[in-house]
A and B are shown apart, each in its own frame.
Chain A
Amino acid sequence: MRPREASALDALPALPRDDDGPVFAEPWQASAFAMTLALSERGVFSWAEWVDTFSGELKRAAEAGTPDDGSRYYHHWLAALERLIAEKGLADPAILVDARDAWDRAAKATPHGKPIGLSPDDLARIRDAG
């Protein structure tokens, strides 16, 4: 039997599939999505600007060889949102790092199963930094 000839199709990556799975796989994805919409509706950036930034992020990820089967979609989404927020000067990157650390400390200081919240000191410092 002759080996099957390779066709151009074999070189193409397979499509990921899903049926009617959840819209957001994890809560952070929903939050990133909602913040983007809210900022656009407030006029902080236009939706065309968002699409531009987001598609640029996807292109960079593809060039960097990140597998793009849709599973990292919201990772790219969040990176694009952070980029646009920085470009628009909405939040000082140092304050964002500070807030990230504050949430990390808050989580680690919270017994498992209890709601996690920032301490009043952390919150006040973040507010004043604005």
Chain B
Amino acid sequence: MSAHHPDDDHSHLDAMTLRVRALETVLTEKGYVDPAALDELIDIYENRVGPKNGARVVARAWSDPAYRARLMENGTEAIRELGYAGRQGEHLVVVENTPGVHNMVVCTLCSCYPWPVLGLPPVWYKSAPYRSRAVNDPRGVLAEFGVELPEGTEINVWDSTSEMRYLVLPMRPEGTEGWSEEDLAALVTRDAMIGTGLPLSPEEVPA
């Protein structure tokens, strides 16, 4: 980033920017990367993929039992049907919440995450506390996220890897009978699909 120095009228690049620019220059000159392709990648992840994709998948599963069956059978293929495929979406497994079982996703080693349906992970997902506590104390983590589950509910924690990524299919909120897929999708939050949240109830939908 550029920053103005009060003592002169020249530019300054911070240490991280210098390291990244040096890499980009050398890799570009050697033909390993193409700056235009890098800009395109950044645009995709800043603007075009995100949890709205996953919300559409969940809303379709809530509305269409045949789709739901395909999604549970082969997540990657069923998600591809809706046009979401590509990087970090090669082996997507959908895990389904039920009244007796709640699912939660973590990557204990780093930050593997289902990019095509959720975009890039939030800061807390990448943090050491979440990565360790999700496994050791899932109920405590859920409480911090404001989620209280009935005592008898079993919590399954799924550890993502570079080969296997998980998407939680939350339970459809009550009072949504007859809703369109579009309206249902508005109830599906990012955290509900990681398992650290629940979908919004009809009363919670922003007008």
Q: Distance (Å) between the CB of B147 and the closest chain A CB? A: 13
Q: Distance (Å) between the CB of B139 and the closest chain A CB? A: 10
The listed residue with most A CB atoms (<10 A of its CB), out of B2, B21, B87, is B21
Please tell me if the beta carbons of B32 and A42 are within 8 angstroms of each other in the complex.
Answer: yes
Q: Does B101 contact A (CB under 8 A)?
A: no
8 Å CB contact of B126 from A52, A70, A82, A102: A70
The count of residues in chain A whose C-beta lies closer than 8 Å to any C-beta of chain B is 73
Please tell me if the beta carbons of A35 and B22 are within 8 angstroms of each other in the complex.
Answer: no
Q: How large is the interface on B (under 10, 10 to 19, 20 to 34, 35 or more residues)?
A: 35 or more
Q: Does B200 contact A (CB under 8 A)?
A: no
Task: Name which of B40-48, B54-62, B70-78 contacts chain A.
Answer: B40-48
Give the complex CA separation of A77 and B14 in angstroms: 17
Residues of A within 8 A of B162 (CB): 47-48, 50-52
Task: Name which of B106-114, B169-177, B178-186 contacts chain A.
Answer: B106-114
Give the complex CA separation of A32 and B33 in angstroms: 12
Q: Does B149 contact A (CB under 8 A)?
A: no
Please tell me if the beta carbons of A35 and B45 are within 8 angstroms of each other in the complex.
Answer: no
Q: Distance (Å) between the CB of A3 and the closest chain B CB? A: 21
Please tell me if the beta carbons of A82 and B19 are within 8 angstroms of each other in the complex.
Answer: yes
Please tell me if the beta carbons of A16 and B26 are within 8 angstroms of each other in the complex.
Answer: no
The listed residue with most B CB atoms (<10 A of its CB), out of A34, A73, A130, is A34
Q: Distance (Å) between the CB of B84 and the closest chain A CB? A: 17
7 residue pairs A–B, Cβ–Cβ below 8 Å: A12-B137, A15-B129, A18-B123, A33-B45, A39-B32, A51-B109, A85-B27
